[in-house]
Amino acid sequence: MAYDRELSFIYNNPTRTIYGENSIRDIGMEVENLGCSRALLVTDKGVAEAGLADRVAQALGRRYAGTYDRCVQDSGVHLVNEGAAFALEKGADSLVSVGGGSTIDTAKGMAVIMKEGGCLQDYSGIQMLSRPQTPHIVVPTTAGTGSEVTYAAVIKDWEQNVKLLFCDNFIIPNTAILDPTMTAGLPAQLTATTGMDALTHAIEAIHALQCEPISDAMALHAIRLIVEYLPRCVEQGDDLVARGQQQIAATMAGVAFGNAQVGLVHAMAHSVGALFKVPHGLANSILLPHVMLYNLEDCPDRYALVAQAMGLDTRALSDHEAGEAAAAAVWKLTKKMGVPQRLRDAGVPESGLAEAANLSLSDGAIVYNPKMIMEAEEVLKVYREAW
Amino acid sequence: MVYTYGTEEWEEAYRELVEERLAKVAKPYLMGTPEWVATYEKLIQEDEPYKDSAKNWEGTVVIHILANPAMGLDDDIFMLMDLWHGDCRSVRLVPREAGKNADYVLSGELERWEAVMKKELDTTKAMMQGKIKLKGSLPTIVRYVKASTRLTELSSQIDTRFHSQLTDEERAEMMGWFKELRARFGF
């Protein structure tokens, strides 16, 4: 997969990114920078109860229009519609999402309905929008999803029981505020698994078929930061240097996969998430090294880059050996952080693996995996290894 | 005579039009013309790799080419493929309403489709980069990547003349007869 004359890409990274301890204090100015004056805060009950939403509301000051705090895991179309109606009722001209991936996705959907009106389902697909949407600032409270800089949102239609995927450059948030104090209270296990989500984004961006040199740079540096700082975050949650570097890494990994895409790890993680409620970061964490080994013969040079970024000495190793060493290093990292190593430990029954394998074939991420997969049996083999 | 899409008369007149043009027009065919579309239909219908990879596929797919008056395309083109369990029942130029209501609609500028058909642009990559838009259920279409890739490959096998290769005179002439066909068939 070395680059040659066929290399052709569009690199897109429009999100203004602000970093610093207590940088949340600048959020009012950021709302005004977007030409807005009233921002609705979008969050979930947990973040609200932790006092994080209040901090943002206070920082917004006179630009604060109200709070919509009904976001839940697996965001729903009905919540997006409800939230958008609430925002318009409050006279909001912008959104500030404070939370993890589901909250950010809810706000991405709300931004569309506030601007376009109508039915959210009409915009499901790839690049269906044709103009900028309601301005959206993201304040992540986890350091993993990268959703603050990506063009994708997954929102469930609860009535039809289907997940709708929205891939559109016009839903990329305008601004991301990375404030390490906003993630300092995250429990150790959640820190570890969401952090592994970021590592998976970075490594999948390296092996994905749409990889290119600029996203490579983002991904490789994200890997360096995660390997160094994620264990520190887990060991000592109030280490704001480590928290900050991990946040930066998650955002860089988000930029990387937003351009290069992701592959089989995400397809498989989405499936066990949908069927057995395995948290996304945990599923990624368990599956990542198995998929690396499965893909290894198709892109050993890419995994050699990963090994180097992980700080492994690869001088005496072939690319293939370096790839194996990288997968082993992922296991070592998760073991060190006390993250479960097997799908059976994450509540996945062996009897459910075949269904999950079949479901994975319908996941958009699988298209970008370096090894082309057409049969569920192939995916099932990887699931069995990880079980 | 003006025909109403969806009626037997329309279908019969369309088939006659295609036969007439295939007999009259010399290759290479201009992309998006009835003779080009008919050639594409035949290629898909006879292609075993497509049949095999799409054996469970159900649904209509539209290639939507956006208008480009400077290139001689004064209105959008909707090319509807009626695909069912590996069979290609038909490929037709259809009116806007019918095209917009297909199960899957792939929309793009004329230049993008030219690049796809010249194998200069990968459709999957083009979608993610916003060069081509997709409306429809992603989970379903993802299962048929091999089939959709094959459809693209087949389009590139047609001996094609592209709008960008026309002279000004040819372009003006084409706009004239294509406008007349649009008026008759509503596409």
Give the model confidence (pLDDT) of A16-70 as tens digits.
999 999 999 999 999 999 999 999 999 999 999 999 999 999 999 999 999 999 9
In whole angstroms, give the CA distance from residue B138 to residue A124: 9
B143 to chain A: nearest residue by CA?
Answer: A362
| Nearest one of A157, A358, A208 to A271, comparing CA atoms | A358
- pLDDT band for B145, please (50, 70, 90 cuts): confident
Which chain A positions have a beta carbon within 8 Å of B135's beta carbon? 125, 128
DSSP A307: H
| Mean pLDDT of all residues in A106-135 | 93
What type of residue sits at position A292? M
| Token representation of residue A77 | 């179309």
pLDDT value, residue A266: 95
DSSP B67: P
Task: Work out the minimum CA distance from B41 to partner chain A, whole angstroms.
Answer: 25
How crowded is residue A132: how many other Cβ atoms within 10 Å of its Cβ?
A: 14
pLDDT at residue A2 tops 80: no
Q: B142–A361: do the CB atoms touch at under 8 Å?
A: yes
Q: Which helix (H) or strand (E) holds A125?
A: strand A125-126
Asked whether A221 and A61 are in contact (CB, 8 A), the reply is: no
| Nearest one of A235, A274, A243, A241 to A356, comparing CA atoms | A274
Secondary structure (3-state) at A167: strand
- Whether residue A187 has a cis bond before it, omega within 30° of 0: no
- pLDDT band for B162, please (50, 70, 90 cuts): very high
Phi, psi of A222 (to 5 degrees): -60, -45
A2 versus A181: the higher-pLDDT residue is A181
Give the dihedral of Cα atoms B63, A364, A167, A108; nearest 10 deg. 150
| Token representation of residue A310 | 């992980």
Q: Which helix (H) or strand (E) holds A31?
A: helix A27-33
- The dihedral through the CA atoms of A79, A84, A89, A95 has a sign that is positive
- Whether residue B49 has a cis bond before it, omega within 30° of 0: no
Task: Work out the minimum CA distance from A125 to partner chain B, whole angstroms.
Answer: 5
- Which of A125, A169, A210 faces B125 most closely, judged by CB atoms? A210
Rg for chain B, CA atoms, rounded? 16
What type of residue sits at position A223? I
Asked whether B100 and B82 are in contact (CB, 8 A), the reply is: no
| Nearest one of B152, B69, B61, B60 to B109, comparing CA atoms | B69
Q: A374–B129: do the CB atoms touch at under 8 Å?
A: no
Mean pLDDT of chain A: 95
Q: B140–A363: do the CB atoms touch at under 8 Å?
A: no
Please report the number of interchain residue pairs, chain A to chain B, with beta-carbon separation below 8 angstroms.
Answer: 52
Task: Work out the minimum CA distance from B107 to partner chain A, whole angstroms.
Answer: 9
Task: Work out the minimum CA distance from A171 to partner chain B, whole angstroms.
Answer: 13
In whole angstroms, give the CA distance from residue B4 to residue A356: 47
| Mean pLDDT of all residues in A334-353 | 97
**Per residue in A354-387, pLDDT tens?**
999 999 998 889 989 999 898 999 999 999 999 9
- Which of A9, A10, A128 faces B133 most closely, judged by CB atoms? A128
- Which of B125, B138, B142 faces A125 most closely, judged by CB atoms? B138
Task: Work out the minimum CA distance from A361 to partner chain B, whole angstroms.
Answer: 6
How crowded is residue B123: how many other Cβ atoms within 10 Å of its Cβ?
A: 21
| Mean pLDDT of all residues in B70-84 | 96
Rg for chain A, CA atoms, rounded? 20
**Per residue in B3-19, pLDDT tens?**
999 999 999 999 999 99
pLDDT value, residue B170: 95
Q: Which helix (H) or strand (E) holds A378?
A: helix A376-386
Which chain A positions have a beta carbon within 8 Å of B132's beta carbon? 127
DSSP B82: E
pLDDT at residue A161 tops 80: no
Distance of CA A63 to the CA centre of its chain: 28
Q: Which residues contact A339 (CB under 8 A, 6 or more apart)?
A: A189, A192, A193, A196, A282, A285, A286
Asked whether B50 and B145 are in contact (CB, 8 A), the reply is: no
| Nearest one of A157, A154, A152 to A127, comparing CA atoms | A152
Q: At which residue do the structure tokens 């998929």 appear?
A: A291
| A128 CB within 8 Å of a chain B CB | yes
Q: B130–A361: do the CB atoms touch at under 8 Å?
A: no
pLDDT value, residue A1: 56
Mean pLDDT of chain B: 94
Q: A169–B130: do the CB atoms touch at under 8 Å?
A: yes
User: What are the angstrom distances between the C-alpha of B92 and each of A100, A301, B34, B134, B187?
Assistant: 46, 46, 8, 19, 9
The length of chain A, given as a count of residues = 387
| Mean pLDDT of all residues in A300-307 | 98
What percent of chain A is modeled with pLDDT above 70? Answer: 100
Q: Which residues contact A251 (CB under 8 A, 6 or more apart)?
A: A17, A140, A146, A148, A149, A176, A178
In whole angstroms, give the CA distance from residue A152 to residue A97: 15
Secondary structure (3-state) at A162: strand
In whole angstroms, give the CA distance from residue A106 to residue A154: 8
pLDDT at residue A75 tops 90: no
In whole angstroms, give the CA distance from residue A177 to residue A148: 9
Burial group, residue B9, by CB count within 10 angstroms (0-12, 13-18, 19+): exposed
In whole angstroms, give the CA distance from residue A31 to residue A136: 9
Give the dihedral of Cα atoms A230, A234, A237, A243; nearest 10 deg. 10
ipTM over 0.90: no
Q: A125–B133: do the CB atoms touch at under 8 Å?
A: yes
Q: Which residues contact A144 (CB under 8 A, 6 or more apart)?
A: A100, A101, A193, A194, A195, A196, A197, A198, A250, A281
Q: Judging by DSSP bridges, how do beta strands A162-167 and A125-126 pair with one another?
A: parallel
Task: Give me the helix-helix angle, A213-235 and A300-309, nearest 10°.
Answer: 40
